[in-house]
Amino acid sequence: MTKEVVIEVKNGKVKEAINSFLKGLLEKNLVSALLVSREVPSKDNVVQSLVTNSHGLKEANVIAPVLPVNSARIISEMTRLSPHKSPVGIVLRSCEIRALIELVKLKQASLDNLLIIGVDCLGTYSVSDYQGLCKQGDSPLDELLRKFKEENEDAKLREACRVCEYAIPSNADLVVGLIGVDFEKNILLESRTEKGEGILEKFSFPKFNQSKEREESVSKYIDEKIAKRDALFSQTKKEVGNWENLLSVFSTCISCHNCMRVCPICYCRECFFKSPTFEFDSEKYLGWAKRKGSIKMPKDTILFHLGRMSHMATSCVGCGVCEGACPSNIPLLRIFKTVGHNVQQIFKYVPGRDLEEPLPLTTFKEDELQGVGEE
């Protein structure tokens, strides 16, 4: 099923090379629409755009190093009520595909008639950093590609990306490869499924012949990321470590619940923590305050974060959009990623790995975790 071809890059223009392939998909009627990230008129950010003709692809920038939203949420919005009836291509990063797989398991999205085109992710900047780079007159994408080529990791990349071990997308029909590929001349286009192979057959791209080099570069790159990830885990454990530290990390939370709203896993129409369970009579507040002398208002902020963790940590993909949406700059990513990793390890579960793996909290084994009930 795996077939590897190259798309020629003219004058070092990687973005345009990918766009020429996407244009081909629309012009050959292989998809009826494409969901791509596209530069806004001011050119200092990208938004997702559902494009039905090649004209709309002019501003497409599917590898723009910025992640304003996790697009899994958008695909859920489009397919929750009914799956697509004609093929729609979606260009996603690994964290978005992994979140999408989790949403399918949660019955919030459908993969029917979707052609998933994954792109190698070299990391993303925060929206404000991305805009800052644009205002300086630099193309954040060119900057990032240049730094990547020099093996010089940009410290400005979001923490989520600096410690992400999933640069290469999984569960995609097609993968656009950049890592371990001489992307100034060629980029890799790899089919991972029959559907993907069927698409490649409609094009006449030359064969890719540097598979071994790619494989080596990728495994080296991933190993470095895992080391960084593990370092972050131990640092985080030191930073929290007791109630006092934990409370001080979350003390600036204003209960806006943005983290929950942008989280691709938090799909509930009505969040439990926004439900009438948490509406109280005025006398209740006074009672609590009297009992302890004083209480923080708004109340229950730490309960919200810990409770949210207990609901979604098994599926957390570590995309870090929660942190990007936080107006109080709470370091949510490192906490949620560390917690998520430990929880997922108990069940040997990797969110987004396999559609067939059941969600840990929806299933059980009879002979497991015996120590928990019999300590």
Partner 1 sequence: MANFEPKIVGFLCNWCTYAGADLAGTSRMQYPPNIRPIRVMCSGSVDSAYVLRALLEGADGVFIGGCHPGDCHYVSGNYKERRRITVLKSILKTLGLDDNRVWIRWVSASEGKRYADTISEMTSHLKKLGPNPISKYWSL
Binding site for partner 1 (CB under 8 A): 237, 240-248, 251, 272-273, 292-296, 299-303, 306-307, 309-311, 313-314, 335, 338-339, 342-343, 346-347, 360-362, 364-366, 368-369, 372-375
Residue 341, classified by CB atoms within 10 Å of its CB into exposed (0-12), middle (13-18) or buried (19+), is: middle
Closest contact distance (angstroms) between CB of 366 and partner 1 is 6
Distance of CA 367 to the CA centre of its chain: 34
Considering the complex, state which of residue 356 and residue 366 has its C-beta at the smaller distance from partner 1: 366
CB count, 10 Å around CB of 352? 25
Closest contact distance (angstroms) between CB of 72 and partner 1 is 22
- Polymer length in residues for the chain: 375
Nearest CA among 250, 61, 41, 212 for reference residue 145: 61
Kindly report whether the peptide bond that precedes residue 298 is cis, defined as omega within 30 degrees of 0.
yes
Determine contact, residues 49/61, Cβ cutoff 8 Å.
Answer: no
Beta strands in the chain (DSSP E): 3-8, 33-39, 46-51, 88-92, 114-119, 174-177, 186-191
Considering the complex, state which of residue 183 and residue 336 has its C-beta at the smaller distance from partner 1: 336
Considering the complex, state which of residue 181 and residue 313 has its C-beta at the smaller distance from partner 1: 313
Closest contact distance (angstroms) between CB of 348 and partner 1 is 13
Q: Which tokens go with 346?
A: 């108990």
Considering the complex, state which of residue 1 and residue 369 has its C-beta at the smaller distance from partner 1: 369
Considering the complex, state which of residue 205 and residue 349 has its C-beta at the smaller distance from partner 1: 349
Closest contact distance (angstroms) between CB of 344 and partner 1 is 10
Closest contact distance (angstroms) between CB of 163 and partner 1 is 16
Whole-number Cα distances in Å, 123 to 64, 177, 189, 234, 290: 10, 14, 19, 22, 49
Closest contact distance (angstroms) between CB of 156 and partner 1 is 28
Considering the complex, state which of residue 203 and residue 233 has its C-beta at the smaller distance from partner 1: 233
Question: How far is the C-alpha of 214 from the C-alpha of 183, rounded, in Å?
Answer: 11
Closest contact distance (angstroms) between CB of 228 and partner 1 is 19
Amino acid (one-letter) located at 218 = V
Considering the complex, state which of residue 102 and residue 173 has its C-beta at the smaller distance from partner 1: 102
Residue 113, classified by CB atoms within 10 Å of its CB into exposed (0-12), middle (13-18) or buried (19+), is: middle
